[in-house]
Amino acid sequence: MPPGFVFTPDFATPAEEAALIDLAATLPFAEARYHQYTARRRVVAWGSARHEVGADEPNRRPLHELPPALATLRTRLAAWAGLAAEEIVQVLMSEYRPGTPLGWHRDAPQYELIAGVSLGGPARLRLRPWPPESGSRDDVISLDLAPRSAYRMSGPARWGWQHGLPPVPALRWSVTMRSARASAIRPSAG
């Protein structure tokens, strides 16, 4: 995997996964609108906005409304990433119905570290260098994301690579957490 990419297969316990899937059943997932397209996965967000999504998006809530199961996960995922919970400024829960892909992208530039937990069905994460070095398919790296696994991306893996998911075979959820990019919160600090 590229430098800055860290994976662990058994991050969430089966009980945590069950609680998060129960929570998902109560959430008003909606398709996210980006500049050019509507992503087919459905999301609910707490905290900082992705700049691509319209400010009127109905399914974004303040971070202090984070449900307890996600607040616990935030604390644990932050610790695994070497951060304090408060440094996680956005929590995104996504629902992928069978056949839903996630297109190639880098996450929005106002965020620094990206960490994600997989729940329910499996997915295959793909990464490719960005900007493209040779345009060769050989540049694509794949990693199976088993349910309850976690990954995090910082440094080269986060800034010098794109990632995406081919269509998932079964219903899956993920929780993505992001810290603020230092230059985005302290623009004049040098």
Ligand X SMILES: O=C(O)CCC(=O)C(=O)O
Q: Among Fe ion, ligand X, none, what binds residue 12 when CB lies within 5 to 8 Å by partner kind? A: none
Beta strands 38-47 and 60-61, pairing class: parallel
d(CA 141, CA 89) in angstroms, rounded, equals 28
**Rounded to the nearest whole angstrom, what is the least distance from the CB of residue 190 to Fe ion in the complex?**
29
Q: Could you tell me the end-to-end alpha-carbon distance of the chain, in angstroms, rounded to an integer?
A: 31
Q: Minimum CB separation from Fe ion for residue 160, in Å?
A: 14
User: One-letter amino acid identity for 137?
Assistant: R
Amino acid in position 88: I
Binding footprint of ligand X, residue count (CB under 6 A): 9
CB of 163 to ligand X, least distance (A): 6
17 binds, among ligand X, Fe ion, none (CB under 5 to 8 A by kind): none
Q: Report the nearest approach of Fe ion to the CB of residue 114 (Å).
A: 6
Q: Which is nearer to ligand X, 47 or 116 (CB)?
A: 116
What are residue 151's DSSP bridge partners?
A: 7, 116
Where is 124: in which H helix or E strand?
strand 123-129
Contact flag: residue 107 with Fe ion (CB under 5 A): yes
DSSP class of 147? T
User: Which of 78, 65, 58 has the alpha carbon at shortest distance from 175?
Assistant: 78
Q: What are phi and psi of 100, to 5 degrees?
A: -85, 125
32 CB-side CA count, 13 A: 21
Q: Is 176 a residue that touches ligand X (CB under 6 A)?
A: yes
Closest CA to 95 of 2, 168, 7: 168
**Nearest residue by C-beta to Fe ion?**
107
Within positions 56 to 95, which residues make up the interface with ligand X, using CB under 6 A?
Answer: 92, 94
| Between 12 and 114, CB nearer to Fe ion | 114
Provide the minimum distance between the beta carbon of 106 and Fe ion in the complex, in angstroms, as a whole number.
7
Residue 90 interacts with, from Fe ion, ligand X, none (CB under 5-8 Å by kind): none
Interface with ligand X includes 102 (CB under 6 A)?
yes
Considering only 1-9, 82-90, 99-107, 119-127, which stretch makes contact with Fe ion by CB under 5 A? 99-107
Where on the chain is the footprint of ligand X (CB under 6 A)? Answer: 92, 94, 102, 107, 116, 118, 163, 174, 176
